[in-house]
Amino acid sequence: MKRIFLMLSVAVMAATSLSSAAFAEGDAIIGDPVKGAKVFKKCKACHTVDQGGKNLVGPNLFGIVGLKAAHMEGFKFSPAMKKSGLTWDEATLDLFLKKPKKLVKKTKMSFAGLRKPKDRAHVIAYLKTLK
């Protein structure tokens, strides 16, 4: 009986640790576009998001998700951004929004970044609605 209990205990512990590890690996933060619009207010000093909107210090970001970096005509991107070869998917946006100068060393973007993963997820969710 003790042996069966021991085997069951080991099985339960193994299953628990496996499911916890799987949850931790796949634990993605789901962004809320409404919250993202609020967080994006930090970005509005430099970026517009209206379709056909003008560029400010930074480019207009309407429809940015899925596009290549430095794609927009009429905005003077840094040579580093032009050469980056980046595509603005969720993962790349997350890295860039976290610390822009870490991803693109000589980007003209002077913003330090959004430290909180949930803020980045919310902003990305918001940007995805701009189509």
Give 71-102 pLDDT, tens digit per residue. 888 999 999 999 999 999 999 999 999 999 99
Q: What is the pLDDT of residues 17-31, one digit of tens each?
A: 333 222 233 567 899
pTM for the full predicted model: 0.78
Please give the residue that has the higher pLDDT: either 93 or 5: 93
Per-residue model confidence (pLDDT) at position 27: 66
Taking each continuous run of H as one helix and of E as one strand, the counts in the chain are 6, 0
Is the pLDDT confidence value at 120 over 90? yes
Per-residue model confidence (pLDDT) at position 77: 97
Per-residue model confidence (pLDDT) at position 75: 96
Summary mean pLDDT of the chain? 84
Is the pLDDT confidence value at 5 over 80? no
HSE of 22, CA atoms in CB hemisphere, 13 A: 6
Top CATH class, 30-128 = mainly alpha
Give bridge partners of residue 68 from the DSSP assignment: 87
Per-residue model confidence (pLDDT) at position 28: 79
Is the pLDDT confidence value at 15 over 50? no
Q: Token pair for residue 60?
A: 């207009």
Please give the C-alpha separations between residue 29 and each of 43, 79, 108, 111, 122, in angstroms, as whole numbers: 21, 33, 28, 23, 9
